[in-house]
Amino acid sequence: MLLYDALFTWCKHDAHTPMHSQASSQGTAVHIAPSRRRRPRRASILLVARGLRGICDGFIAVLLPGYLLALGFGQLAVGLISTTALFGSAVATVLVGLASTRFAQRGLLLFAATLTTATGLCFAGLSSLWPLLVVAFIGTLNPSSGDVSLFLPLEHARLAQFATRDARTALFARYSLIGGLSAAVGSLAAGLPDSISVLHGR
């Protein structure tokens, strides 16, 4: 949430920063807007946010089924919760795409971050099937290592604005690569608690 807030605060500051001049090869002055010069740094904030979210997604994708089984749910109930979460994420993605022109992207991203936090707290505090199904549908829990949340269309829209035409493909490639690698790291990290327990003889 803090990363997204910093990103849009930076964008707002650029909007009130005067343009600077730079001499071209022909000796004429070329005005360069600060927002254009700072695009790579602003895009890096989204890439960091994508990496952190990918680690959490990979971690949850491995631990969630085991956690639900430990609560006493059967395999059918675990599959139902995961399916509901994926279906809810798909619906939320479509709704965000429809509402993105009516609401500020900063507000939507901060809302998504807040909803993610609330979803985690609800899953940690609830143990009944029907409340968990409601939270899974409304929330942003991702039971898979891929990004299927409402963050995806919002971040894609910002990435398209932050990259010039010739660098856009490379930026999206880095975004996808970071997402895949971070999810793999999160999945691997899910085994750390058991490894630590074995090392300490517990």
On the 0-12 / 13-18 / 19+ scale of CB atoms within 10 A, 136 is: buried
pLDDT in tens, 113-130: 899 899 999 999 999 999
- In this predicted structure, the answer to whether residue 146 has a pLDDT above a threshold of 80 is no
pLDDT at residue 131 in the model = 95
pLDDT at residue 9 in the model = 56
pLDDT at residue 7 in the model = 52
pLDDT in tens, 156-201: 888 888 877 788 888 999 999 999 999 999 999 988 877 877 777 6
pLDDT in tens, 8-50: 454 555 544 444 444 444 554 444 444 455 566 778 888 999 9
Q: Which residues contact 73 (CB under 8 A, 6 or more apart)?
A: 81, 129
Residue 139: closest CA among 71, 77, 87 = 87
